[in-house]
């Protein structure tokens, strides 16, 4: 037999209006069309941050610290570690207001993905030869998806 709970608001036992809702890592949600289900926890971003060219953080989630390693070279430490080194995905946006096509570089000896932090570089392609130049962007916003430890 299945059951269904219909409520408008969930509150704590004291009735103060606030509550903490915990869901298991096997919880699922139904797609917009209703045809498929997805794992809720797998679909959530585990880290995100927005910072400017000096690594000054304007907002973040699961971010313990940020390090500006040099021109266009950043490291971010997680408050809660990821489940495995190099087993998570990082994507993001590097925004420059100087008419340069910017990138977040994943092909460098300085790029590193551990369980507790990740390091990456931002820059642009300097000329038609394809040479890449590190650059402090006006805003950088990496996002991490994957499994927490």
Please tell me the predicted confidence (pLDDT) of residue 135.
84
Asked whether 117 and 47 are in contact (CB, 8 A), the reply is no
Q: Which residues contact 48 (CB under 8 A, 6 or more apart)?
A: 60, 61, 62, 141, 142, 143, 144
pLDDT tens by residue, 94-108: 887 666 667 887 556
**Residue written as tokens 């313990």?**
64
Tens of pLDDT, residue by residue, the chain (149 residues) = 789 889 888 888 888 877 787 888 889 989 899 999 999 888 899 999 999 866 689 999 999 999 998 888 899 999 999 999 989 999 998 887 666 667 887 556 667 899 999 999 888 877 777 777 888 888 899 999 999 99
Total-model pTM: 0.81
Q: How far apart are CA 37 and CA 31, in angstroms?
A: 6
Please tell me the predicted confidence (pLDDT) of residue 101.
67
pLDDT tens by residue, 57-75: 999 999 999 999 888 889 9
Backbone angles phi, psi at 31, to 5 degrees: -65, 165
Please tell me the predicted confidence (pLDDT) of residue 79.
98
Please tell me the predicted confidence (pLDDT) of residue 49.
95
For the chain, the structural domain boundaries read 47-145
Q: What would you report as the CA-atom Rg of the chain, rounded to the nearest whole angstrom?
A: 20
Q: How far apart are CA 137 and CA 135, in angstroms?
A: 6
Among candidate residues 81, 83, 92, 101, the one with its CA nearest the CA of residue 120: 92
Please tell me the predicted confidence (pLDDT) of residue 95.
85
Please tell me the predicted confidence (pLDDT) of residue 110.
65
Please tell me the predicted confidence (pLDDT) of residue 138.
85
């Amino acid at each position: 037999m299945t059951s269904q709970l219909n409520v408008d608001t969930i509150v704590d036992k004291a009735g103060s209006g606030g509550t903490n809702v915990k869901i298991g890592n096997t919880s699922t949600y139904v797609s917009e069309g209703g045809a498929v289900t997805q794992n809720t926890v797998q679909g959530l971003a585990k880290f995100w941050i927005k910072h400017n060219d000096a690594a000054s953080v304007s907002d973040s989630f699961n971010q313990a610290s940020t390090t500006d390693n040099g021109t266009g070279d950043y490291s971010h430490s997680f408050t809660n570690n990821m489940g495995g080194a190099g087993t998570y995905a990082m994507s993001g946006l590097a925004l420059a207001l100087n008419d340069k096509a910017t990138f977040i570089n994943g092909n460098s000896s300085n790029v590193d993905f551990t369980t507790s932090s990740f390091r990456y570089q931002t820059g642009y392609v300097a000329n038609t030869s394809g040479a890449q130049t590190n650059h402090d962007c006006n805003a950088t916003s990496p996002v991490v998806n994957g499994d927490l430890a």
